[in-house]
Structure 1
Amino acid sequence: MPTKLVIDTDPGVDDAFAIALAALSDDVELLGVTTVFGNVGLPATTHNARRVLALCERDDVPVAAGAARPLVHPQWRQARPVHGDDGLSGRAHLLPEPRRDDEDIDAVSLLARLLAESREPVTIAAIGPLTNIATLLAAHPGAAERIARVVVMGGALGHGNSTAAAEFNIFSDPEAAHRVLTGGEISCVLVPMDLTYRCAVSADWLATLGARGPVGAALEALTPAYLAHYRKALGRNAMALHDAVAVAEAISPGMLRTESVPVSVETSLGPARGATVVDRRRPQVRAETEEPGQDRPTVAVAMDTDLDELRAFLLRRLAGQPA
């Protein structure tokens, strides 16, 4: 049975690869795409999402714009130095113009509608700031029981990328991330940047994708600014496809090896703001330091994967090969 999937996203180069991955996979029923502020402003992220769907000839997929800012504090910074001023290395104009307008309802309303209409629980791939998802849980409490799981690209076990402590998506709205990851309302998988950095693809991988067909060539053409950043971040001619790794897990559960542990999100205004604190102590040790009866919700944190198989999976799917 196809995976029923909604993507909540802030495109973003790696988001573009992630949307295409789902849109081109014949074992996915892509119910909708919702957009959020993040890598660039909301108008650009929404237009970018619609352009990528047009590239994949998926005019059937509705797109709705969501939050333009975080829940509480202003967004600290966008990711223009990484993704370019338009979010796609300054090359968004190379993608086809969307043939379908965005929906006349907001992202949270679309999410609630899609969940209510689905006969089976729906997976949400949340690959931007978690503002829309936190708002959904607050405004539509019954929606949680319609969600199979939320696969979140975000967080860091070691150092961050927006700050020394925090990864970009979580840092963009820590209060929203706190609600989603620690509330215990939904089953969550957290795909941290520690793993997505290890899953980076080489320039040769990109060239192979570009030679596989027009969609692959169009995606490769979006990468110059992004690839230039990751040459500095990784120290080699490669780039991280963070969000595509999370969507791969959403499509194929178990592709990433996870560990169920409590996760906290730092919401102070200090230097650790946005940090994800993953408690990997043995349960017996945790129990000794917690109040009797306290049962903190756990999150399935992705720790490892077969790197070669993951890259091959991404290449096959983005080239349009059948599942």
Structure 2
Amino acid sequence: MPTKLIIDTDPGVDDAFAIALAALSDEVDLLGVTSVYGNVPLAATTINARRVLALCGRDDVPVAAGAQRPLVHRHPNEARYVHGADGLSGRSHALPEPSRPLDERDAVTLMADLLAASDEPVTIAPIGPLTNIAALLAAHPAAAEKIARIVIMGGALGHGNTTAAAEFNIWSDPEAAHRVLTGGEAPCVLVPMDLTYRCAVDAAWMTELGTSGPIGTALDALTPDYREHYRGALGWDGMVLHDAVAVAEAIRPGTLRTERVAVQVECSFGPGRGATYADRRLPALRAASAESETGAETEVAVDADLDQLRAQLLAGLRTDANVPGEDRLRTL
């Protein structure tokens, strides 16, 4: 049976790849997409999500706009320096315009309605700040009963990318991340940047995608600013598809190897704000510690067959047999 899936997203180049991976997969019943502020402001993330779905021929999927800011404290800045001014290297306008209007419901209401209407549990893949998901769990507690897993791209077990300690998605709204990861309402899988960096793809992978057909060409065309950033971050010509790695796990459970641990999120205003701390001590040692009351446990992704995962991502993103040809794209 296809995985019933909702994606909560802030596109973002890697978000665009993640949305396309799900939208093109016959292993997925993509129920809806919700947008959140993050890499760029909400208006940009919302139209970007809708245009990527239109590129994939998926105007049947509803899109609803969500939070414009974090739960408590204002978002200090976006990640335009990574994703470009519009979130897609300045090329969002080159994607097809969606024919389906933006859903009149807000993101939380759409998610709650989709969960209530589903006849089986639904996976949610939040690949941006966790504000919408925290609001869903707070406003609709019964919705958690319909959630199979929340597969989150976020966090870092080592160093961060936005600060020395914190990864961007968690740093953007630590209070929301704390609610989702420690609340225990629904099973969580955390896919941290330690692993997603190891899954980086190289220039040859991008060339193969870019020459695979109209969708691959369009996705490759969105990457110049993002790829330039990662040339510096990686030290070689490649880029990191953080969010697509998480969505691959959401689509096909077991793609990533996980460890079940307690995760805490730093919500202070010190240099560690937004850091994620995974307690990987042996259970006996945790139980004996005075600090063992750390809330619900989370499956944290720690490893994968990297070559197999890269091949899986490439195969999924090359799937364009059901989409009309070059006339779907504007001049790129």
Cα deviation for residue 290 of structure 1 reads: 3.3
Look up the match of 1:232: 232
Q: In structure 2, how many angstroms separate the alpha carbons of the residues matched to 1:100 and 1:84? A: 26
User: What's 1:271 paired with?
Assistant: 271
Structure 1 residue ranges without an equivalent (≥5): none
Q: Deviations over 1:182-241 (max 9, x none)?
A: 111110000000000000001110110011110000000000000000000010101000
**Shift in Å, 1:291:** 6.9
Paired residues for 1:222-301 under 5 Å: 222-290=222-290, 294=293, 296-301=295-300
* Equivalent AA in structure 2 for residue 76 of structure 1: P
1:153 maps to 153
- What is the rounded CA distance, in whole Å, between the counterparts of 1:291 and 1:215 in structure 2? 50
Partner of 2:219: 219
- Counting matched residue pairs gives 321
1:143 is aligned to: 143
Residue 95 (str. 1) matches residue 95 (str. 2):
yes
Distance 2:281 2:296 in 1: 14
- Please say if 1:84 is aligned against 2:84: yes
Q: Secondary structure at the match of 2:197?
A: helix
- Residue 40 (structure 2) pairs with residue 40 (structure 1): yes
Cα 1:114–1:288 change in 2 (3 A) is same
| Residues 5-43 of structure 1 deviation map (CA, whole Å, 9 limit, x = unaligned) | 000000000000000000000110000000000000000
Three-state SS of the structure 2 residue aligned to 1:22 is: helix
Q: Give the Cα–Cα distance (whole angstroms) in 1 for the partners of residues 137 and 194 of structure 2.
A: 28
SS at match of 1:270: coil
SS of the residue 2:47 aligns to: helix
Q: Equivalences for 1:83-232 in 2 at 5 Å?
A: 83-232=83-232
Separation (CA, whole Å) in 2 of partners of 1:13 and 1:190 = 20
Deviation at 1:296, TM superposition (A): 3.2
Partner residue in 1 for 2:310 = 311
* Whole-angstrom distance in 2 between the partners of 1:233 and 1:57: 33
The answer to whether the Cα contact below 8 Å between 2:34 and 2:107 also exists between their aligned partners in 1 is: yes
* Amino acid of the structure 1 residue aligned with 2:297: T
TM-score scaled to structure 1, two decimals? Answer: 0.98
SS in structure 1 at match of 2:76: coil
Q: CA deviation at 1:93?
A: 1.1
Instruction: Name the aligned partner's letter for residue 309 of structure 2.
Output: L
SS in 2 for 1:262: strand
Counterpart AA for 1:14: D
Distance 1:295 1:275 in 2: 15
Query: Separation in 1 of the partners of 2:203 and 2:5?
Result: 29
Query: TM-score scaled to structure 2, two decimals?
Result: 0.95
> Structure 1 CA distance, aligned partners of 2:320 and 2:108?
33
Shift of 1:295: 7.2
Measure, in 1, the Cα distance between the counterparts of 2:164 and 2:171.
Answer: 11
Instruction: Map 1:11-50; keep pairs closer than 5 Å.
Output: 11-50=11-50
Counterpart CA distance in 2 for 1:76 and 1:192 is 22
What residue identity is the alignment partner of 2:313?
A: L
Q: Describe how 1:52-71 pairs up with structure 2 within 5 A.
A: 52-71=52-71
Q: Which amino acid aligns with 1:271?
A: P
The answer to whether the 8 A contact 2:88-2:222 is kept is yes
Q: Which amino acid is the alignment partner of residue 221 of structure 2?
A: A
Gaps in structure 2 of 5+ consecutive residues: 322-332
Select between 151-160 and 313-322 the one with higher mean Cα deviation: 313-322
The alpha carbon displacement at 1:97 in A equals: 0.9
